[in-house]
Amino acid sequence: MVRVFTIASGKGGTGKTTVTVNLGTSLAQFGKNTIIMDADIGMANMGLALGLEDVPVTLHEVLAGKANVHDAIYDGPGDMKVVPSGISLQGFQQANPERLKDVMKELVEVCDFLLIDAPAGISRDGVIPLAIADDVILVVNPELSSIVDALKTKILTEVVGGHVLGVIINRAGIEKTEVVKQKMEKVLGVKVIGTIPEDPNVRKAASFKTPVVIKYPLSPSSVAIKNMAAELAGIPIEHRGVESKDRFIERFAKVLFRGRK
Ligand SMILES: Nc1ncnc2c1ncn2[C@@H]1O[C@H](COP(=O)(O)OP(=O)(O)O)[C@@H](O)[C@H]1O
Ligand SMILES: [Mg+2]
């Protein structure tokens, strides 16, 4: 069964693009045909994040009726496919977001998972991705303003007939994760799918235009994201091959000191 997820938030900068790119890469690494699409057509940055900023055909041209979506699909990391959006203002003005649903219908013919990176806020362009996905995943930072904005987005999603699957807490600090999780579930009324810690390697990897799950696979953020991807893809724990640095060191130490008292 093909699954279409829209990755949304209320506020900008919570980590939607980071989550879309890394969750998509991880799903592809688990052998799932995965396409990620940048529906943030006004402030597109998925192309920039992956070094695809100079491609000839983007979602802009497709939404303007000038190109076929199959010509806007590019190879991304880990066998993932990417439909970037253009960065020109003119391209944005000519793009008609009403066409997104038709684009989605064409893409689901050729993939197992489609992840749509949604714009922040509650603009007209932002509402369409919330309505057309099977499920919406909200990316929320552990701050009150981010939670309040996510709640607005959740309500908006339901108003337009969409469905919120749950929340990803991103940039979690050292505060008690379980307490934050419970608060978030209570306020938003949906489950927490996973928690991604604040991790300097996310930015470091971005400077190489590479997803953190590829550049730093043992980093805490990578381990968290890969576990979420495995959960979404229904991969059993023994086949995930996801291991934290601590667990790796523990195993390594065991081998090293085997037989010693
Ligand atoms: N878990 C994280 N740890 C550290 N930095 C992060 C994390 N997630 C995202 N960031 C950084 O936060 C910034 C905003 O992330 P981005 O994914 O572009 O947000 P959005 O798409 O929601 O606007 C980027 O500079 C990104 O590298
Ligand atoms: Mg973004």
> For residue range 157-215, what is the model confidence (pLDDT) as tens digits?
999 999 999 999 999 997 777 888 998 999 999 999 999 999 999 999 999 999 999 99
Average of per-residue pLDDT across 2-13: 93
Which ligand 1 atom lies nearest to the CA of residue 206? 27
Query: Residue 239 Cα, ligand 2 centroid: separation in angstroms?
Result: 31
Angle between helices 177-188 and 144-159 (to 10 degrees): 40
Out of 16, 18, 50, give the residue to mutate to test ligand 1, the one with the largest number of ligand atoms within 8 Å of its CB.
18
Domains, the chain, in order of start with CATH, read 3-256 (3.40.50.300)
Name which of 56-60, 110-114, 140-144 the model is least confident about: 140-144
At 230 the pLDDT is 96
Can you count the helices (H) and strands (E) in the chain?
A: 12, 8
Nearest to 6 by CA among 46, 39, 55, 49: 39
CA–CA dist 235, 33 (Å, integer): 14
Nearest to 189 by CA among 208, 171, 165: 165
Using a 6 Å CB cutoff, which residues line ligand 1? 9, 12-18, 45, 170-171, 196, 198-199, 202-203, 206, 221
Nearest to 173 by CA among 229, 215, 217, 221: 221
* DSSP reduced 3-state for 189: coil
* DSSP reduced 3-state for 171: strand
Out of 202, 212, 222, 225, give the residue to mutate to test ligand 1, the one with the largest number of ligand atoms within 8 Å of its CB.
202
> For residue range 45-102, what is the model confidence (pLDDT) as tens digits?
999 999 999 999 999 999 999 999 999 999 999 999 999 999 899 999 999 999 999 9
Please name the residue whose Cα sits nearest to atom 25 of ligand 1. 203
Query: Residue 198 Cα, ligand 1 centroid: separation in angstroms?
Result: 9
Please name the residue whose Cα sits nearest to atom 6 of ligand 1. 202
Does the pTM of the predicted model rise above 0.85? yes
Query: Residue 47 Cα, ligand 2 centroid: separation in angstroms?
Result: 10
Residue 218 CB neighbours (<10 A): 15
* Cβ partners under 8 Å of residue 261, min gap 6: none
Which ligand 1 atom lies nearest to the CA of residue 139? 22
Return the exposure string of 22-44: e unless at least 16 CB atoms fall within 10 Å of the residue's CB, then b. Answer: bbbbbbbbbebebbbbbbbbbeb
CA–CA dist 236, 217 (Å, integer): 19
